[in-house]
Amino acid sequence: MTLADALMDIEMRFLNNLPQEEAAQMDRLFFQLEQAYWFYEDFYADNYEHLPHMIMGKFSQMIVEQSDVLHLSREQVTQLMQGGKKYQQSIPVCGCIIVNKSLNKLLLVRNWKGTTWTFPKGKINEGESEAACAVRECHEECGYYVGEGVVNEKDKFTRKSGDKTVTMYVVPGVDEDTHFAPVARKEISKISWFPLDKLPPSLGCATVHGTTEEVFGTAEEGGKAGEETQVPQQEFRGITATKETSETSS
């Protein structure tokens, strides 16, 4: 298996059957190249020691250069990468704030590079509802299925940050002994519970007099654009307390 063989196989899988009208759409082409890139990293570079790991820009340049389908210059590929990343940063993000039964701990996930902790969340798919996206991302990143019937529109926070909208659903009452494990490949390196007054700095939380002032803020995921979201702890406690009361009375 040579690098040329691998790239040829990937081109056949992801590019050869791409309709011409879709190949002409920069966002669609970027998405296709992104899927091709991760396929190469997961099933070729990881399994064949002589095949190099590479960044997406270099991979895209190489596969375009040998492609009989795409006719782009190096400058056009560079512009495609830049435009695609900018487009990605505008895609709405949804996720879940998983809270334990005592309402004093949050479940966080650490990115694949091991550099930052954040809540399980990710970009919404075309035609997907915010609730469905939050449920899917939670399952993919920590192996926990919330269920669309559990996430509540009254228990969500939405914040606009630049061109991106971030929506988080509060899901209280989760057992700390629950088994958590990522389903998606190469996204999450660790999953842990954190006390509200000991949230990691990468979550963008400020601690005042030993109490967390905000339950979530700015966090940058490995290889992805930073996302800014803030929720005052007072509002967070109000939501979880109301949820707990309603569940107890029902």
Beta-bridged to residue 160, according to DSSP, are 165
Q: pLDDT for 19-65, tens place per residue?
A: 888 888 888 888 899 989 989 998 999 999 999 999 999 999 999 88
- Using the predicted structure, report yes or no on whether residue 220 has a pLDDT greater than 50: no
Q: Where in the chain is the domain with CATH 3.90.79.10?
A: 93-249
> What pLDDT, on the 0 to 100 scale, is given for residue 52?
94
> What pLDDT, on the 0 to 100 scale, is given for residue 136?
94
> What pLDDT, on the 0 to 100 scale, is given for residue 59?
93
> What pLDDT, on the 0 to 100 scale, is given for residue 113?
84
Rounded Cα–Cα distance for residues 132 and 121 (Å): 11
> What pLDDT, on the 0 to 100 scale, is given for residue 51?
95
Q: pLDDT for 63-74, tens place per residue?
A: 988 888 888 888
The whole-model pTM stands at 0.69
Alpha helices for the chain (secondary structure H): 3-14, 20-23, 26-40, 56-65, 74-88, 130-142, 233-249
- Using the predicted structure, report yes or no on whether residue 228 has a pLDDT greater than 80: no
CATH number at 93-249: 3.90.79.10
Classified as helix, coil or strand, 197 is helix
Phi-psi region of 209 (alpha: psi -120 to 50; beta: other; left: phi over 0): left
The residue with tokens 């979880």 is 240
Of 1.10.10.1050, 1.10.3210.10, 1.10.10.410, 3.30.70.1060, the CATH number of 3-88 is 1.10.10.1050
Q: Where in the chain is the domain with CATH 1.10.10.1050?
A: 3-88
Q: pLDDT for 144-201, tens place per residue?
A: 998 766 787 778 888 887 778 889 999 989 999 999 999 988 889 999 999 988 888 7
